[in-house]
Amino acid sequence: GESVGLHLPTLSVQEGDNSIINCAYSNSASDYFIWYKQESGKGPQFIIDIRSNMDKRQGQRVTVLLNKTVKHLSLQIAATQPGDSAVYFCAENSSPGGSYIPTFGRGTSLIVHP
C-alpha cells in the first residue's frame, strides 16, 4: 500500500543551527500534511500543517515546505534549541467518509547538542 516515510532516522545538530527534517510521501491524492513532535514519555504534539494548495507555511521558528511534484515534505526549525530534541513525525491525511485519518511516517529523531 501507499505509505509515508522519512529519509533520515536520526539528525544531530548543534544548538543554534537550523534543522531540516525531510519526509517523502507516495499518495498523490493526499491533500493535507502535518508535522508532529513527540518528546519522551509524551504523546505526539501538533507543530504545523499545510494543505496541498500551498507550498510553504511558516510558524514560530518552523517552516514547512511542500513539493507536490516530487511528493516531498520538509520541516525546517530555525535556531534549534535543546528543547527541540524529540522524534518528529510527518503525516499525510486522506479523507474517507469526510474524516481525516492520517498515516504517519516512521519518525526522525532530532538530537540537539548544547
Partner 1 sequence: KAGVTQTPRYLIKTRGQQVTLSCSPISGHRSVSWYQQTPGQGLQFLFEYFSETQRNKGNFPGRFSGRQFSNSRSEMNVSTLELGDSALYLCASSGGTPDNSPLHFGNGTRLTVT
What residue ranges bind partner 1 (CB under 8 A)? 32, 34, 36, 41-46, 49, 89, 93, 95-107
Q: How far is the CB of 17 from partner 1 (least distance, A)?
A: 27
Closest CB to partner 1 among residues 25, 36:
36
Q: Which is nearer to partner 1, 15 or 49 (CB)?
A: 49
In three-state secondary structure terms, 82 is helix
Q: Shortest approach of partner 1 to residue 114 CB, angstroms? A: 26
* Distance (Å, whole) CA 105 – CA 99: 19
**Distance in Å, CB of 15 to partner 1, minimum:** 26
Q: Which of 34/75 has CB closer to partner 1?
A: 34
Output the nine-digit C-alpha cell for 56. 510553504
Beta carbons within 10 angstroms of residue 81's beta carbon: 13
CA–CA gap between residue 61 and residue 57 (Å, rounded)? 11
The secondary structure of residue 53, as a DSSP letter, is T
